[in-house]
Structure 1
Amino acid sequence: MSFDREKATKKAKEMLLDGETLDEIKDNTRLRQKDVRRIQKEITKHF
């Protein structure tokens, strides 16, 4: 089973917009905290 970073990033964005916690996102997407924070920063730029 390979890790697809694009799918994980897309899923993390959806979860962040839905209000999921950082721990839930890390568990479901297997992304590092650093990556999730970067995605979160990208999203908040748009608002």
Structure 2
Amino acid sequence: MTLGITSCTDQFEETNINPNLISEITSGAVLNPVIYTMLSNNTAKNYDITA
């Protein structure tokens, strides 16, 4: 018994494009979550000290 496995590779790169994915990362996209996390941690620590 012979089993042949074939794959479709024609136009794979065009098919595998995600239109919702950004092509370049800006510094703001990386920095904003860092700032938010720092502020939220400092707020929680401040609340623990004063409460």
Higher relative contact order (CA 8 A, sep 6+): 1
TM-score normalised to the size of structure 1?
Answer: 0.34
The higher radius of gyration belongs to 2
Whichever structure has more helix as a proportion of its residues is: 1
Q: TM-score, normalised by structure 2?
A: 0.32
